[in-house]
Amino acid sequence: LMLYCLNGPNLNLLGTREPEIYGTDTLADIEKMMSKSANDLGAKLVFRQSNHEGELIDWIQEARTKASALILNAAAYTHTSIAIHDALKTLEIPVIELHLSNPHSREPFRAKSYVAPCAHGVIAGFGSAGYRLSVEAAITLVNKRSK
Ligand code: DQA
């Protein structure tokens, strides 16, 4: 079982970027923790980050054939990207929308998500722990489907 976790713009700065909102774990810390959870549950993890919309789209397309589920923190592109929405529409695997913060408790412009209509579920507001929760959620969805 192969999980793809893709991370959008500015998430490379986690740890130092607005730590009062996003916490002090770095993306490398999160990747390590998430890989371990995946391993413990018998899954493999591809974990990537890009500041570039097109690169994220290339990876979403790659996930069509390589992944059993996609966990996506599209960061600010969540609120703007019809191109990411369209790419997600081509997937037949479960998609989980993920955010460290709860976008609905923040500025009004974060309330709109172009990812949500393509997602089976959303995990938001649990900080870096959300990444671990998303591994469990993704594996649960995949196992349910293959029954
Ligand atoms: C975010 C929330 C987005 O609104 C924001 O643009 C981000 C991070 C989160 O993980 O909380 O960059 O996706």
The CATH number that applies at residue 74 is: 3.40.50.9100
Task: Take residue 57 and report the two structure tokens written for it.
Answer: 């789209």
CB 7 within 8 Å of CB 49: yes
If you measure from the C-alpha of residue 17 to the centroid of ligand 1, how many angstroms do you get, rounded to a whole number? 11
Structure confidence by residue, pLDDT tens digits, 39-86: 999 999 999 999 999 999 999 999 999 999 999 999 999 999 999 999
On whether 101 is known to bind a ligand per the annotation, the reply is yes
On whether 86 is known to bind a ligand per the annotation, the reply is yes
* Domains in the chain, number: 1
Measured from the Cβ of residue 135, the count of other Cβ atoms closer than 10 Å reads 25
Name the residue of 80, 100, 122, 128 whose CB sits within 8 Å of the most ligand 1 atoms, as the mutation to test its pocket: 100
**Which of 136, 40, 38, 35 lies closest to 94 in space, CA to CA?**
136
Q: What crossing angle do the helices spanning 27-40 and 129-145 adopt, rounded to 10°? A: 30
Rg, the chain, Cα only = 14
Ligand 1 pocket, Cβ-based, cut-off 6 angstroms = 10, 73, 75-76, 78, 99-101, 103, 110
Q: At residue 58, what is the residue type? A: D
Q: Is 66 helix (H, G, I), strand (E, B) or coil?
A: helix
ipTM for the assembly: 0.99
Structure confidence by residue, pLDDT tens digits, 8-32: 999 999 999 999 999 999 999 999 9
Range of the domain at 16: 2-145
Contacts of 135 (CB under 8 A, 6+ apart): 3, 34, 37, 38, 41, 43, 45, 71
Secondary structure percentages of the chain, helix, strand, coil, to 5: 50, 20, 30
Q: What is residue 146's predicted lDDT score, i.e. its pLDDT?
A: 82
Claim: this prediction has a pTM higher than 0.95: yes
Name the residue of 6, 14, 73, 107 whose CB sits within 8 Å of the most ligand 1 atoms, as the mutation to test its pocket: 73
